[in-house]
Amino acid sequence: MHSKIYLAAVAALMLTGAAQAQTATPATPAMPEAGTPEAEMLYQSARNQLGVLKHCNEQGFIGEEAVATQTKLLGMIPAGDVALGDAAEQKGAGGTVVSMGTELTLEDGAKQQSTTPEAMCKQMETAMAQLASQLPAE
């Protein structure tokens, strides 16, 4: 279950256009082990995505359900450096996506994809809704 959640979380992050496409992605990647660089990257990316979703919500582009789903996901992945996570979330709250060493504002990402920040937010909301349906009930 956690591998599917990890894959879906990474897929949701990639919707923003900031992440580089990988040439080969395993069908079910394993959750990175706590304390590894991969786990730290996942944690910071998830925190940034939480900030981006909060930004989208504050702009009125999406509802609060996507934020709640991302918050639940954070509890399912290895925690990382809280200070770095706070900084990543703050950048996201300002509308900047940070993923895989790349920083891109929603505005610039939308221009690159010939769309709008609102449409990108709605894509993320849709991905989060699909993911929410796969999460264990509380």
Q: Which two tokens stand for residue 81?
A: 């450096």
Spatial separation of the C-alpha atoms in residues 110 and 63, rounded to whole Å = 20
- State the pTM of this model: 0.79
For residue 34, what pLDDT is reported? Answer: 81
For residue 23, what pLDDT is reported? Answer: 31
| Closest among 61, 63, 65, 66 to 116, alpha carbons compared | 61
Please list the residues that pair with 102 across neighbouring strands: 99
For residue 29, what pLDDT is reported? Answer: 58
> How does DSSP classify residue 20?
P
For residue 102, what pLDDT is reported? Answer: 85
Spatial separation of the C-alpha atoms in residues 8 and 51, rounded to whole Å = 18
Spatial separation of the C-alpha atoms in residues 68 and 53, rounded to whole Å = 10
Q: What are the pLDDT tens digits along the chain (138 aa)?
A: 443 444 445 445 544 333 333 333 444 457 778 888 888 998 999 999 999 999 999 999 999 999 999 999 898 888 999 999 999 999 999 999 987 778 999 999 999 999 999 999 999 999 999 988 887 776
| Closest among 135, 109, 137, 112 to 121, alpha carbons compared | 109
Domain ranges of the chain: 2-18+36-132
Q: Give the three-class secondary structure for 94.
A: coil
Spatial separation of the C-alpha atoms in residues 22 and 97, rounded to whole Å = 18
